Structure 1
Amino acid sequence: MSERTLLEVEDLHLHYQTRRGVVRAVDGVSFDVRHNEALVVLGESGCGKSSLAKALMRVLPRNVHQVSGRVTLGGTELMSMSDERFRRDVQWVRVSLVMQASMNALNPVVRVGEQVVEPLRVLLGWPRARAMARAAEVFERVGVSTDFLQRYPLELSGGMRQRVVLAMALVTEPELVILDEPTSALDVLTQASIMNLLKRLKRELGTSFILITHDVATSSELADRVALMYAGQIVEVANAAQFFDAPAHPYSQLLMASVPRLHQQQRPEAIPGQPPSLLEPPPGCRFAERCPSHFERCAKDPEFFRLDDRRRVRCWLYEGRGEP
């Protein structure tokens, strides 16, 4: 782990037991996040993005079949840490989570101020007066009037609720904030406002972000790097400018070709086929059946090939062109 690396994830697995079998939602994922960096985890619905967030935050359902791998935060190995110590020292203290649908993350019968200060009071033992003063500071930073501390979630608009949930994630001054589809339920103008807020917070606070989204346009607003996820695996990691201008993996290329753009004569193209079931993912490359460039080598699970210091691609097309 380099000095600039905040989070390092190696060979992370999260599988669920269901009536139909084992769902391999996260299946051998590896990536890192640097200090004051925004890493976007991009992928279509059902590819395992939200499960990745749950694995990192250790917010797991009861039907977990397997969770394994290595996760290191600032030199501290987390996977071997007991649940009690993880809750005390990491969860909401060093790493926090902004979940999908802000209304689901807030208790409708408790004033929002009391919910925002809960991590300070329960985990850090702050007295109520000091915690409320800190909540007021964070509210001002995320653009919410301190008068809203005494309001209930149903009294706030969707955009304001999202800012409150963000304040809750920032109140303990964590090193890393995971954002799981933070703008998916908001109108376009409110989405733009929230993304501008995140860019300002990253600049002012030096916080690192993992933004989980399926929205290419939203991701391009914040990303320093992009990790593209497909069928439970990451298939490309690249600098944001590299990824959006010249994607390398065939799935990346088809994904970018499907996005409508201003001043573009060529019409967007749909990606053919359907993603594989995570109950029984196919052997070899999981994108092969939809890939226009597939060949015999794709029957074997591809390695990651390092094309340069900033880009890794999981595709046999790059064998011999990059370091495994």
Structure 2
Amino acid sequence: MSEQTPLLSIRDLNLHYHSSGGIVRAVDGINLDIHRNEALVVLGESGCGKSSLAKALLRLLPRNVATYSGQVLLHGKDTMPMTEERFRRDVRWSRISMVMQAAMNSLNPVVRVGEQVAEPLRVLQQWSRPKAMARVAEVFALVGISTDFLQRYPFELSGGMRQRAVLAMALVTRPELIILDEPTSALDVLTQASIMNVLKRIKQETGTSYLMITHDVGTSSELADRVALMYAGQLVETASASEFFNEPAHPYSKLLMASVPRLRQTERPGAIPGQPPSLLNPPDGCRFAARCPSRFDRCLADPPPMALNERRRVSCWLFDREAPA
């Protein structure tokens, strides 16, 4: 296997849902790579499909799935043909784990925290309880929790400590990739900064890769090596973090960055006009066209390809060589 092979490759991934109004195209043809020891941040407005992307990668699928297709390649091997039992045993939580939104809802209120963090080791890897608890103590130290908390219940922990406990649960099996779904959304600013520092230190010390899903541009910039921007179920731009935050290319990216308040700016932050399209009946052309100040006729008729170059991809006719000037 080549050293250049991505840790995880997503190819033409689709996750559509049945609903009373029709088919919801939540994840619609996503192509993305995540490399070793990389923090990839997936940004986008609420309802754009970010959390559905995470569920698709871990097969945490609801009952109303209409379409689930594409390829999810781990070290170049497609996991989609795996049976559910093999995927549960070999991939989910063993090699790819997840920190869910709302940490308190992820913890059983009547089971001690240490026992919950040890559960993946006991169930998936059949470790004895003493061995598993010793590993939990190691991970607690890594995320900055005293071993005194092993015997505590979730309601005895602060919001920040619960978030660290959920992070410890994701780390306990030594996965190669951790999916972080809005990991700081319910925390105050100081606790957010503390959790982000923990994540950066873990990445540096263990080489773990992250896929962080968020709509918080400011927080994500602390961790990101690369950024992927989603809009209405599709990717519109992927770039290095420095390129994206300093020189956004897609019109949506530019408007999004202009809407972020900055410490020393004198002008008021901008706003993105209009509303995202319905995922029940998305437009035929560019899905951002109705809100885009740079649109022209082709944008309304044809979906743009991912263009520009291999290092930076932008889904916009402005970057296609055949588009009119």
* Same fold (TM > 0.5): yes
Q: Report which stretch shifted further, 309-318 or 235-244.
A: 309-318
CA distance in 2, matches of 1:215, 1:222: 12
Unaligned ranges ≥5, structure 1: none
Distance 1:285 1:178, change over 3 A: same
Distance 1:13 1:84, change over 3 A: same
CA distance in 2, matches of 1:55, 1:114: 28
CA distance in 1, matches of 2:65, 2:106: 22
CA distance in 2, matches of 1:259, 1:137: 38
CA distance in 2, matches of 1:69, 1:218: 31
In the alignment, does 2:205 pair up with 1:207? no
Partner of 1:188: 189
Corresponding residue SS for 1:177: strand
Partner of 1:116: 117
CA distance in 1, matches of 2:97, 2:3: 22
CA distance in 1, matches of 2:135, 2:322: 52
The aligned amino acid for 2:304 is P
Q: Once the 2 structures are TM-superposed, how far is the Cα of residue 14 of structure 1 from its aligned partner?
A: 0.3
Partner of 1:8: 9
Over residues 78-98 of structure 1, what are the superposed CA-to-partner deviations in whole Å (9 max), with x where a residue is unaligned? 111110000000000000000
Partner of 1:301: 303
Q: Once the 2 structures are TM-superposed, how far is the Cα of residue 308 of structure 1 from its aligned partner?
A: 3.4
CA distance in 2, matches of 1:118, 1:146: 17
Partner of 1:87: 88
CA distance in 2, matches of 1:319, 1:44: 25
Unaligned ranges ≥5, structure 2: none
Over residues 196-255 of structure 1, what are the superposed CA-to-partner deviations in whole Å (9 max), with x where a residue is unaligned? 110000000000000000000011000000000000001000000000000000000000
Over residues 181-206 of structure 1, what are the superposed CA-to-partner deviations in whole Å (9 max), with x where a residue is unaligned? 00000000000000011000000000
The aligned amino acid for 1:133 is A
TM-score (norm 1): 0.97
Q: Once the 2 structures are TM-superposed, how far is the Cα of residue 3 of structure 1 from its aligned partner?
A: 2.4
Partner of 2:258: 257
The aligned amino acid for 1:126 is W
After superposition, the CA RMSD in angstroms is: 1.2
Distance 1:26 1:2, change over 3 A: farther
The aligned amino acid for 1:46 is G
In the alignment, does 2:282 pair up with 1:246? no
The aligned amino acid for 1:28 is G
> How many residues are paired up?
321
Alignment of structure 1 residues 1-324 onto 2, 5 Å: 3-4=3-4, 5-298=6-299, 299-305=301-307, 307-320=308-321
CA distance in 1, matches of 2:35, 2:189: 29
CA distance in 2, matches of 1:111, 1:308: 51
Over residues 239-287 of structure 1, what are the superposed CA-to-partner deviations in whole Å (9 max), with x where a residue is unaligned? 0000000000000000000001011122211100000011111111000
CA distance in 1, matches of 2:114, 2:122: 12
Q: Report which stretch shifted further, 8-17 or 75-84.
A: 75-84
CA distance in 2, matches of 1:23, 1:108: 34
TM-score (norm 2): 0.97
The aligned amino acid for 2:302 is K
The aligned amino acid for 1:116 is V
Q: Once the 2 structures are TM-superposed, how far is the Cα of residue 20 of structure 1 from its aligned partner?
A: 1.3
CA distance in 2, matches of 1:197, 1:320: 44
CA distance in 2, matches of 1:159, 1:236: 32
CA distance in 2, matches of 1:135, 1:96: 16
Same amino acid, percent of matched pairs: 72
CA distance in 1, matches of 2:257, 2:201: 27
CA distance in 1, matches of 2:153, 2:311: 45
Distance 1:88 1:40, change over 3 A: same
The aligned amino acid for 2:305 is E
